[in-house]
């Protein structure tokens, strides 16, 4: 499915109401797309593009079959971001316990000038951009140093892209906006390689990848980068367990709502029957794996029906479903991992407490034999 699970229902609605828009090609496709991929995208909203797809729900159904019917049961984090989930995440970002957003924002505000000076690009592609609130520091510098450019946020959440579009267009008339309502992989594979680009991945979303998905994903990203493109990555660092556990279990219970809301989203998309009154949130820091683990725990036996899969399973009392992980990193080790994937670190910015890092990478040149 092109615009994934979360805002799938909304996007599908837009899909049909905007069918005439697609047919008439009211908006001409922007030059951000490679010629091979151009035909796959249509405008789902003004300045926002989605993938055309013959079987829109296939990808969601396959994901659920692969994760919820597996042992141990888990989910892909993109299911957290329907309209309600996207708004809950914005609330989490402003919580005192959730140091990540304000720390990353402060580093970006301080270092955007340096980052943009190093990245001589026309285009900023942001993966999982959300409401793009922190990205404004980079866009501001892009306008100051280059007079303008193009901003391409990629996100499964149509709600977030619409808010991002309205805010970016209002603040930066010199910046072209083209949102891609799609999964990361679908978005980055469609970007024209000859367009000088800074890829940006903030919010420590890198921590949501498990170890094997990490390697697969960043190999793909590295392969999608042109030879002079750069990549800016925001990563949360290891710190006191108490600080970490508080950040993911706030006193107002917003994180708990956010995590359990994924099941509302799945019920809507899959027609399943998860009962939110029969589950609770549980999270802890796994020291061995250096990751926060966020679970939904069933508080009584419930038989879950998954109609599109013609399947059901018993979610037993006390059984956990892993909804999200958030890995914590040691930046120097991470730089070494990226080196193996073909990305060479060229700058490292951090905050005074060294709680968070922004790493800037370029593609390694292949040595001639």
Residues that bind ligand SAM (CB under 6 A): 77-78, 81, 86, 89, 93, 101, 128-130, 134, 154-157, 160, 183-184, 202-203, 205
Nearer to ligand SAM, 262 or 298 (CB): 262
Nearer to ligand SAM, 181 or 315 (CB): 181
Cα→Cα distances 306→71, 125, 296, 310, Å: 16, 36, 18, 6
- Give me the least distance between CB of 216 and ligand SAM, in Å please: 13
- Give me the least distance between CB of 205 and ligand SAM, in Å please: 5
- Give me the least distance between CB of 166 and ligand SAM, in Å please: 16
Nearer to ligand SAM, 166 or 301 (CB): 166
Burial of 153 (0-12, 13-18, 19+ CB in 10 A): buried
Nearer to ligand SAM, 18 or 135 (CB): 135
Q: Which two tokens stand for residue 275?
A: 């009962």
Q: β-strands 343-350, 320-327: how paired?
A: unpaired
Give the chain's end-to-end CA distance (angstroms, integer): 41
- Give me the least distance between CB of 235 and ligand SAM, in Å please: 12
DSSP symbol at 366: P
Q: How far apart are CA 31 and CA 194, in angstroms?
A: 10
- Give me the least distance between CB of 369 and ligand SAM, in Å please: 37
Nearer to ligand SAM, 133 or 320 (CB): 133
- Give me the least distance between CB of 301 and ligand SAM, in Å please: 31
Q: How far apart are CA 25 and CA 93, in angstroms?
A: 37
> 211-224 and 331-341 helices cross at what angle (nearest 10)?
60
Considering only CA atoms, which of 309, 358, 250 is closest in space to residue 64? Answer: 309
Is 316 in a helix, a strand, or coil?
Answer: coil
Nearer to ligand SAM, 56 or 298 (CB): 56
Considering only CA atoms, which of 144, 142, 151 is closest in space to residue 176? Answer: 151
Nearer to ligand SAM, 73 or 78 (CB): 78
265 φψ region: left (φ > 0), alpha (ψ -120 to 50), beta (else): alpha
- Give me the least distance between CB of 3 and ligand SAM, in Å please: 9
- Give me the least distance between CB of 60 and ligand SAM, in Å please: 12
Nearer to ligand SAM, 30 or 187 (CB): 187
Q: How far apart are CA 169 and CA 175, in angstroms?
A: 7
Beta bridge partners of 302: 315
């Amino acid at each position: 499915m092109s615009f994934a699970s979360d805002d799938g229902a909304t996007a599908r609605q837009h899909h049909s109401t905007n069918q005439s828009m697609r047919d008439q090609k009211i908006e001409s496709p922007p030059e951000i797309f490679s010629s091979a991929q151009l035909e796959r995208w249509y405008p789902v909203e003004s300045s926002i593009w989605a993938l055309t797809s013959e079987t829109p729900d296939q990808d969601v159904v396959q994901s659920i079959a692969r994760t919820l019917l597996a042992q141990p049961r888990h989910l892909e984090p993109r299911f957290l971001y329907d309209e309600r989930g996207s708004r809950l995440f914005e609330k989490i970002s402003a919580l005192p316990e959730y140091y990540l957003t304000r720390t990353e924002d402060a580093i970006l505000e301080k270092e955007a000038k340096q980052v943009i000076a190093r990245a001589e690009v026309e285009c900023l592609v942001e993966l999982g951009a959300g409401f793009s609130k922190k990205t404004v520091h980079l866009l501001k510098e892009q306008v100051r140093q280059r007079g303008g450019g193009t901003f391409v946020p990629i996100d499964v959440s149509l709600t977030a892209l619409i808010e991002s579009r309205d805010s970016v267009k209002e603040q930066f008339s010199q910046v072209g906006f083209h949102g891609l309502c799609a999964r990361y992989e679908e978005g980055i594979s469609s970007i024209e390689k000859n367009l000088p680009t800074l890829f940006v991945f903030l919010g420590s979303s890198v921590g949501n990848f498990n170890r094997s998905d990490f390697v697969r994903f960043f190999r793909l990203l590295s392969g999608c980068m042109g030879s002079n493109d750069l990549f800016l990555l925001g990563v949360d660092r290891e710190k006191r367990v108490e600080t970490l556990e508080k950040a993911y279990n706030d006193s107002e219970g917003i994180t708990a709502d956010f995590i359990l809301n994924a099941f509302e989203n799945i019920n809507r998309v899959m027609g399943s029957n998860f009962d939110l009154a029969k589950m609770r949130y549980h999270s802890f820091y796994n020291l061995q794996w250096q990751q926060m683990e966020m679970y939904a725990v069933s508080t009584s036996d419930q038989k879950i029906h998954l109609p599109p899969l013609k399947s059901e399973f018993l979610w037993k009392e006390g059984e956990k479903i892993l909804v999200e992980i958030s890995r914590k990193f040691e930046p120097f080790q991470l730089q070494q991992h990226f080196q193996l994937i073909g990305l060479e670190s060229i700058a490292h910015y951090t905050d005074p407490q060294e709680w968070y890092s922004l790493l800037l990478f370029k593609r390694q040149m292949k040595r001639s034999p």
